[in-house]
Amino acid sequence: MESSETRPSEAVSSKTHTENLIATLPTREGWSTPLLLYNNCWIRPHCLNDAMAVQDKLKPSPDDIILAAHPKCGTTWLKALLFTVLNRSRYTFADHPLLTVGPHQLVPFVALLPGDLDRAEMLPSPRLLSTHLPLPLLPPAVSTLGCRIVCVCREPKDAFLSRWHFEKKLHQGISLGMDEAFAMFSEGCTPYDPFWDRYLEYWKESLARPREVMFLRYEEIMSDTPKVIRKLASFLGVPFTREEESGGVVEQVADLCGFTSLSSVDPNRADRVEVEHAGVKLVVNPSSLFRKGEVGDWVNHMSKDMAARMGQLVAEKFKGSGLTF
Protein backbone atom coordinates (compact mmCIF):
# COMPACT_ATOMS: atom_id res chain seq x y z
CA MET A 1 0.00 0.00 0.00
CA GLU A 2 1.05 3.52 -0.55
CA SER A 3 -0.43 6.92 -0.12
CA SER A 4 -0.19 9.92 -2.39
CA GLU A 5 0.34 13.51 -1.43
CA THR A 6 -1.95 16.28 -2.47
CA ARG A 7 0.57 19.02 -1.82
CA PRO A 8 4.03 17.88 -2.95
CA SER A 9 5.71 21.10 -1.93
CA GLU A 10 4.61 20.46 1.65
CA ALA A 11 5.49 16.79 1.62
CA VAL A 12 7.92 17.08 4.44
CA SER A 13 6.44 19.21 7.14
CA SER A 14 9.23 19.17 9.65
CA LYS A 15 11.87 21.63 8.56
CA THR A 16 15.50 21.68 9.64
CA HIS A 17 17.08 18.25 9.78
CA THR A 18 14.96 16.49 7.20
CA GLU A 19 15.01 19.41 4.79
CA ASN A 20 18.75 19.70 5.04
CA LEU A 21 19.11 16.01 4.42
CA ILE A 22 16.73 16.05 1.48
CA ALA A 23 18.80 18.74 -0.17
CA THR A 24 21.74 16.34 -0.22
CA LEU A 25 19.89 13.25 -1.50
CA PRO A 26 19.83 12.14 -5.13
CA THR A 27 16.36 12.71 -6.53
CA ARG A 28 14.41 11.38 -9.51
CA GLU A 29 11.21 12.53 -11.13
CA GLY A 30 9.00 10.20 -13.06
CA TRP A 31 6.66 8.45 -10.72
CA SER A 32 3.74 10.46 -9.37
CA THR A 33 5.91 12.15 -6.75
CA PRO A 34 9.66 12.73 -6.80
CA LEU A 35 11.72 9.96 -5.26
CA LEU A 36 14.71 10.43 -2.99
CA LEU A 37 17.51 7.93 -2.63
CA TYR A 38 17.96 7.36 1.08
CA ASN A 39 20.45 4.64 2.06
CA ASN A 40 20.02 2.77 -1.22
CA CYS A 41 16.24 2.95 -1.04
CA TRP A 42 14.11 5.17 -3.29
CA ILE A 43 11.49 6.74 -1.11
CA ARG A 44 8.74 9.34 -1.44
CA PRO A 45 9.46 12.61 0.37
CA HIS A 46 6.45 12.37 2.68
CA CYS A 47 7.61 8.97 3.97
CA LEU A 48 11.18 10.06 4.65
CA ASN A 49 10.55 11.65 8.04
CA ASP A 50 9.05 8.47 9.45
CA ALA A 51 11.64 6.28 7.74
CA MET A 52 14.32 8.25 9.52
CA ALA A 53 12.40 8.30 12.80
CA VAL A 54 12.01 4.51 12.86
CA GLN A 55 15.55 4.02 14.09
CA ASP A 56 14.85 6.05 17.23
CA LYS A 57 11.11 5.75 17.72
CA LEU A 58 10.38 2.12 17.05
CA LYS A 59 11.40 0.29 20.20
CA PRO A 60 11.45 -3.38 19.23
CA SER A 61 10.34 -5.99 21.69
CA PRO A 62 11.38 -9.67 21.34
CA ASP A 63 7.78 -10.76 20.75
CA ASP A 64 7.13 -8.26 17.95
CA ILE A 65 6.06 -9.75 14.64
CA ILE A 66 7.01 -7.68 11.63
CA LEU A 67 5.56 -8.13 8.18
CA ALA A 68 8.22 -6.85 5.80
CA ALA A 69 6.37 -6.87 2.52
CA HIS A 70 7.68 -5.44 -0.69
CA PRO A 71 5.12 -3.17 -2.38
CA LYS A 72 2.62 -4.91 -4.66
CA CYS A 73 3.79 -8.33 -3.49
CA GLY A 74 0.84 -9.18 -1.24
CA THR A 75 1.14 -6.82 1.73
CA THR A 76 -2.62 -6.48 2.15
CA TRP A 77 -3.19 -10.22 1.87
CA LEU A 78 -0.46 -11.07 4.38
CA LYS A 79 -1.73 -8.46 6.83
CA ALA A 80 -5.12 -10.13 6.75
CA LEU A 81 -3.66 -13.65 7.06
CA LEU A 82 -1.31 -12.80 9.92
CA PHE A 83 -3.94 -10.84 11.83
CA THR A 84 -6.45 -13.67 11.48
CA VAL A 85 -4.02 -16.43 12.43
CA LEU A 86 -2.76 -14.56 15.48
CA ASN A 87 -6.18 -13.49 16.73
CA ARG A 88 -8.17 -16.58 15.87
CA SER A 89 -9.23 -17.31 19.44
CA ARG A 90 -10.57 -13.77 19.89
CA TYR A 91 -12.97 -13.51 16.98
CA THR A 92 -15.50 -15.70 15.23
CA PHE A 93 -15.47 -15.86 11.45
CA ALA A 94 -19.06 -14.65 11.30
CA ASP A 95 -18.24 -11.48 13.20
CA HIS A 96 -14.64 -10.86 12.25
CA PRO A 97 -13.02 -7.37 12.19
CA LEU A 98 -11.95 -7.99 8.58
CA LEU A 99 -15.60 -7.86 7.59
CA THR A 100 -15.86 -4.25 8.67
CA VAL A 101 -12.32 -2.83 8.69
CA GLY A 102 -9.55 -2.89 6.07
CA PRO A 103 -6.36 -4.89 6.79
CA HIS A 104 -4.32 -1.68 6.82
CA GLN A 105 -6.38 -0.32 9.70
CA LEU A 106 -5.81 -3.49 11.70
CA VAL A 107 -2.05 -3.65 11.27
CA PRO A 108 0.02 -0.43 11.56
CA PHE A 109 2.14 0.47 8.56
CA VAL A 110 5.42 1.71 10.01
CA ALA A 111 6.96 4.57 8.04
CA LEU A 112 4.16 4.79 5.54
CA LEU A 113 0.75 5.68 6.90
CA PRO A 114 0.52 8.89 8.91
CA GLY A 115 0.61 8.31 12.65
CA ASP A 116 1.21 4.57 12.36
CA LEU A 117 4.61 4.78 14.01
CA ASP A 118 2.89 6.33 17.05
CA ARG A 119 0.06 3.79 16.82
CA ALA A 120 2.64 0.99 16.87
CA GLU A 121 4.04 2.32 20.13
CA MET A 122 0.64 2.12 21.77
CA LEU A 123 -0.17 -1.46 20.77
CA PRO A 124 -0.16 -4.12 23.47
CA SER A 125 2.35 -6.90 23.17
CA PRO A 126 2.75 -9.05 21.15
CA ARG A 127 2.54 -6.48 18.37
CA LEU A 128 1.87 -7.18 14.73
CA LEU A 129 3.49 -4.45 12.62
CA SER A 130 4.21 -4.05 8.95
CA THR A 131 6.57 -2.04 6.81
CA HIS A 132 7.96 -1.66 3.29
CA LEU A 133 11.31 -0.55 4.70
CA PRO A 134 14.51 -2.40 3.85
CA LEU A 135 16.03 -4.55 6.59
CA PRO A 136 19.04 -2.19 7.02
CA LEU A 137 16.68 0.70 7.80
CA LEU A 138 14.97 -1.13 10.67
CA PRO A 139 16.45 -0.70 14.15
CA PRO A 140 19.23 -3.29 14.68
CA ALA A 141 17.37 -4.50 17.79
CA VAL A 142 14.79 -6.10 15.50
CA SER A 143 17.48 -8.63 14.62
CA THR A 144 19.39 -8.82 17.88
CA LEU A 145 16.22 -9.36 19.91
CA GLY A 146 15.06 -12.03 17.49
CA CYS A 147 11.76 -10.43 16.47
CA ARG A 148 9.89 -12.65 14.04
CA ILE A 149 9.96 -11.24 10.52
CA VAL A 150 7.74 -12.46 7.71
CA CYS A 151 8.77 -11.11 4.34
CA VAL A 152 6.97 -11.48 1.06
CA CYS A 153 8.19 -10.90 -2.47
CA ARG A 154 6.73 -11.59 -5.90
CA GLU A 155 7.82 -12.55 -9.38
CA PRO A 156 9.21 -9.21 -10.67
CA LYS A 157 7.17 -8.95 -13.89
CA ASP A 158 3.93 -9.38 -11.97
CA ALA A 159 5.16 -7.03 -9.25
CA PHE A 160 5.95 -4.40 -11.89
CA LEU A 161 2.60 -4.81 -13.59
CA SER A 162 0.76 -4.50 -10.30
CA ARG A 163 2.76 -1.37 -9.48
CA TRP A 164 2.04 0.13 -12.85
CA HIS A 165 -1.72 -0.33 -12.56
CA PHE A 166 -1.67 0.87 -8.97
CA GLU A 167 0.16 4.08 -9.85
CA LYS A 168 -2.24 4.81 -12.68
CA LYS A 169 -5.25 4.32 -10.44
CA LEU A 170 -3.83 6.15 -7.45
CA HIS A 171 -2.46 9.08 -9.40
CA GLN A 172 -4.94 9.69 -12.18
CA GLY A 173 -2.86 12.36 -13.88
CA ILE A 174 0.35 10.32 -14.09
CA SER A 175 2.13 10.94 -17.35
CA LEU A 176 4.63 8.12 -17.10
CA GLY A 177 4.17 5.61 -19.93
CA MET A 178 4.52 1.89 -19.38
CA ASP A 179 7.85 1.71 -21.22
CA GLU A 180 9.28 4.53 -19.16
CA ALA A 181 7.96 3.01 -15.94
CA PHE A 182 9.49 -0.32 -16.91
CA ALA A 183 12.83 1.36 -17.59
CA MET A 184 12.79 2.99 -14.14
CA PHE A 185 11.79 -0.28 -12.48
CA SER A 186 14.64 -2.04 -14.29
CA GLU A 187 17.03 0.62 -13.04
CA GLY A 188 15.83 -0.03 -9.50
CA CYS A 189 14.23 3.38 -9.33
CA THR A 190 10.74 2.66 -8.00
CA PRO A 191 9.48 3.36 -4.46
CA TYR A 192 11.32 1.12 -1.94
CA ASP A 193 13.48 -0.41 -4.71
CA PRO A 194 15.92 -1.62 -6.06
CA PHE A 195 13.71 -4.66 -5.67
CA TRP A 196 16.64 -7.07 -6.08
CA ASP A 197 18.43 -5.54 -3.09
CA ARG A 198 15.24 -5.66 -0.98
CA TYR A 199 14.52 -9.28 -1.89
CA LEU A 200 18.13 -10.32 -1.28
CA GLU A 201 18.47 -8.55 2.07
CA TYR A 202 15.53 -10.47 3.49
CA TRP A 203 16.30 -13.68 1.60
CA LYS A 204 19.82 -13.87 3.03
CA GLU A 205 18.53 -13.10 6.52
CA SER A 206 15.98 -15.91 6.23
CA LEU A 207 18.78 -18.33 5.31
CA ALA A 208 20.93 -17.15 8.20
CA ARG A 209 18.11 -17.08 10.80
CA PRO A 210 15.32 -19.35 9.61
CA ARG A 211 13.65 -19.54 13.02
CA GLU A 212 13.22 -15.80 13.10
CA VAL A 213 12.88 -14.78 9.47
CA MET A 214 10.43 -16.40 7.09
CA PHE A 215 10.62 -15.68 3.39
CA LEU A 216 7.50 -16.08 1.27
CA ARG A 217 6.54 -15.47 -2.31
CA TYR A 218 3.14 -14.35 -3.52
CA GLU A 219 3.06 -17.31 -5.91
CA GLU A 220 3.47 -19.94 -3.20
CA ILE A 221 0.69 -18.40 -1.10
CA MET A 222 -1.52 -18.48 -4.16
CA SER A 223 -0.67 -22.06 -5.09
CA ASP A 224 -1.52 -23.54 -1.67
CA THR A 225 -2.90 -20.99 0.77
CA PRO A 226 -3.79 -23.46 3.56
CA LYS A 227 -0.24 -24.84 3.49
CA VAL A 228 1.22 -21.36 3.93
CA ILE A 229 -1.29 -20.56 6.69
CA ARG A 230 -0.13 -23.66 8.60
CA LYS A 231 3.49 -22.68 8.01
CA LEU A 232 2.84 -19.17 9.32
CA ALA A 233 1.06 -20.43 12.43
CA SER A 234 3.90 -22.81 13.30
CA PHE A 235 6.52 -20.15 12.62
CA LEU A 236 4.71 -17.76 14.97
CA GLY A 237 4.48 -20.40 17.69
CA VAL A 238 0.71 -20.84 17.44
CA PRO A 239 0.26 -24.05 15.38
CA PHE A 240 -3.25 -25.25 14.65
CA THR A 241 -4.60 -27.81 17.08
CA ARG A 242 -6.13 -31.07 15.97
CA GLU A 243 -9.57 -29.69 16.81
CA GLU A 244 -8.94 -26.63 14.68
CA GLU A 245 -7.72 -28.80 11.81
CA SER A 246 -10.73 -31.06 11.94
CA GLY A 247 -13.04 -28.04 12.34
CA GLY A 248 -11.76 -26.56 9.07
CA VAL A 249 -10.30 -23.43 10.70
CA VAL A 250 -7.36 -23.28 8.27
CA GLU A 251 -9.68 -23.22 5.28
CA GLN A 252 -11.87 -20.61 6.97
CA VAL A 253 -8.83 -18.36 7.42
CA ALA A 254 -7.97 -18.82 3.73
CA ASP A 255 -11.52 -17.99 2.65
CA LEU A 256 -11.89 -14.94 4.88
CA CYS A 257 -8.59 -13.48 3.63
CA GLY A 258 -9.01 -14.54 0.00
CA PHE A 259 -9.23 -12.00 -2.81
CA THR A 260 -12.98 -12.46 -3.40
CA SER A 261 -13.87 -12.02 0.23
CA LEU A 262 -11.54 -9.12 1.06
CA SER A 263 -12.20 -7.16 -2.11
CA SER A 264 -15.95 -7.24 -1.59
CA VAL A 265 -15.93 -5.81 1.92
CA ASP A 266 -17.14 -2.19 2.06
CA PRO A 267 -14.05 -0.50 3.58
CA ASN A 268 -11.90 -2.13 0.88
CA ARG A 269 -14.14 -0.88 -1.92
CA ALA A 270 -13.72 2.81 -1.10
CA ASP A 271 -12.06 4.86 -3.84
CA ARG A 272 -10.82 7.80 -1.88
CA VAL A 273 -10.06 8.26 1.79
CA GLU A 274 -8.31 11.42 2.94
CA VAL A 275 -6.05 11.48 5.95
CA GLU A 276 -3.96 14.30 7.33
CA HIS A 277 -0.60 14.07 9.00
CA ALA A 278 1.54 16.94 10.24
CA GLY A 279 -0.22 19.35 7.92
CA VAL A 280 0.13 17.10 4.88
CA LYS A 281 -3.06 15.83 3.25
CA LEU A 282 -2.78 12.29 1.97
CA VAL A 283 -5.17 10.38 -0.19
CA VAL A 284 -5.40 6.63 0.24
CA ASN A 285 -7.36 4.50 -2.12
CA PRO A 286 -8.28 1.10 -0.61
CA SER A 287 -9.94 -0.24 -3.75
CA SER A 288 -6.70 0.18 -5.72
CA LEU A 289 -5.15 -2.52 -3.53
CA PHE A 290 -7.37 -5.13 -5.13
CA ARG A 291 -6.94 -5.49 -8.87
CA LYS A 292 -6.86 -9.08 -10.16
CA GLY A 293 -4.96 -11.06 -7.58
CA GLU A 294 -3.52 -13.50 -10.14
CA VAL A 295 -0.19 -15.07 -10.92
CA GLY A 296 1.26 -14.47 -14.39
CA ASP A 297 -0.96 -11.58 -15.52
CA TRP A 298 2.13 -9.89 -16.96
CA VAL A 299 1.71 -12.02 -20.05
CA ASN A 300 -1.43 -10.06 -20.95
CA HIS A 301 0.31 -6.69 -20.82
CA MET A 302 4.05 -6.92 -21.40
CA SER A 303 5.87 -7.45 -24.66
CA LYS A 304 8.09 -10.49 -25.18
CA ASP A 305 11.04 -8.15 -25.39
CA MET A 306 10.29 -6.60 -22.00
CA ALA A 307 9.86 -10.04 -20.47
CA ALA A 308 13.18 -11.18 -21.92
CA ARG A 309 14.96 -8.09 -20.60
CA MET A 310 13.50 -8.60 -17.14
CA GLY A 311 14.47 -12.28 -17.27
CA GLN A 312 18.05 -11.30 -18.00
CA LEU A 313 18.14 -8.69 -15.24
CA VAL A 314 16.70 -11.11 -12.70
CA ALA A 315 19.20 -13.83 -13.68
CA GLU A 316 22.05 -11.33 -13.25
CA LYS A 317 20.90 -9.81 -9.97
CA PHE A 318 20.01 -13.07 -8.22
CA LYS A 319 22.89 -15.14 -9.60
CA GLY A 320 24.37 -17.41 -6.97
CA SER A 321 21.84 -16.40 -4.30
CA GLY A 322 19.60 -19.45 -4.58
CA LEU A 323 16.66 -17.13 -5.20
CA THR A 324 15.11 -17.79 -8.59
CA PHE A 325 11.98 -16.63 -10.42
Please state, as a whole number, how many other Cβ atoms lie within 10 Å of the Cβ of residue 108: 24
Distance CA 294, CA 158 (A): 9
Which C-beta is closer to ligand A3P: that of 60 or that of 71? 71
Determine the 3-state secondary structure of 112 from DSSP: coil
Which C-beta is closer to ligand A3P: that of 117 or that of 170? 170
| Of 35, 58, 73, 149, the one binding ligand A3P by CB under 6 A | 73
Which C-beta is closer to ligand A3P: that of 253 or that of 262? 262
**Taking the complex as a whole, how short is the minimal distance between the CB of residue 200 and ligand A3P, in angstroms?**
18
Q: Is 132 a catalytic residue?
A: yes
Which C-beta is closer to ligand A3P: that of 76 or that of 206? 76
**Taking the complex as a whole, how short is the minimal distance between the CB of residue 130 and ligand A3P, in angstroms?**
10
CB contact at 8 A, 221 and 73: no
Torsion of CA 274, 265, 287, 82, to 10 degrees: 90
Exactly one of 132, 165, 171, 301 is catalytic; name it. Answer: 132
Question: Which of positions 253-292 make contact with ligand A3P (CB under 6 A)?
Answer: 257-259, 262, 289-292
Round to the nearest angstrom and report the end-to-end CA distance of the chain.
Answer: 23
The half-sphere exposure of 105 on its side-chain side, counting CA atoms within 13 A, is: 13
Q: Report angle CA 121, 123, 125 to the nearest 5 degrees.
A: 110
| Of 33, 75, 84, 190, the one binding ligand A3P by CB under 6 A | 75
Q: Residue 28 belongs to what H/E stretch?
A: strand 27-28
Distance CA 163, CA 219 (A): 16
Binding of ligand A3P by 68 (CB under 6 A): no
Distance CA 211, CA 232 (A): 11
Distance CA 127, CA 116 (A): 13
| Of 10, 220, 244, 297, the one binding ligand A3P by CB under 6 A | 297
Q: Residue 68 belongs to what H/E stretch?
A: strand 65-69
Binding of ligand A3P by 137 (CB under 6 A): no
# residues near ligand A3P by CB under 6 A: 22
**Taking the complex as a whole, how short is the minimal distance between the CB of residue 287 and ligand A3P, in angstroms?**
10
Interface characters, 220-259, with ligand A3P (x: CB under 6 A): -------------------------------------xxx
Enumerate binding residues for ligand A3P (CB under 6 A): 1, 69, 71-77, 158, 162, 165, 257-259, 262, 289-293, 297
Active site residue ranges: 132
